[in-house]
Homo-oligomer: A and B are copies of this chain.
Amino acid sequence: MVEVTALTKEEAEHCPVRSVLTRVTGKWQMLILLALEGDELRFGALKRKIGDVTQRMLTENLRTLERDGHLTRTVHAGPPLAVSYALTPQGLSLVGVLKPLVFWAAEHFDAIDASRVKVDAAKA
A interface residue numbers (CB < 8 A to B):
2, 4-9, 11-13, 16-17, 19-22, 24-27, 30-31, 34-35, 48-52, 66-69, 90, 93-94, 97-98, 100-106, 108-109, 111-116, 119-120
Contact = CB atoms under 8 A, between A and B. Distances in A.
Nearest to A21: B105
Nearest to A31: B5
A44 to B, nearest CB: 14
Nearest to A104: B97
A28 to B, nearest CB: 10
Contacts of A21: 30, 101-102, 105
A32 to B, nearest CB: 9
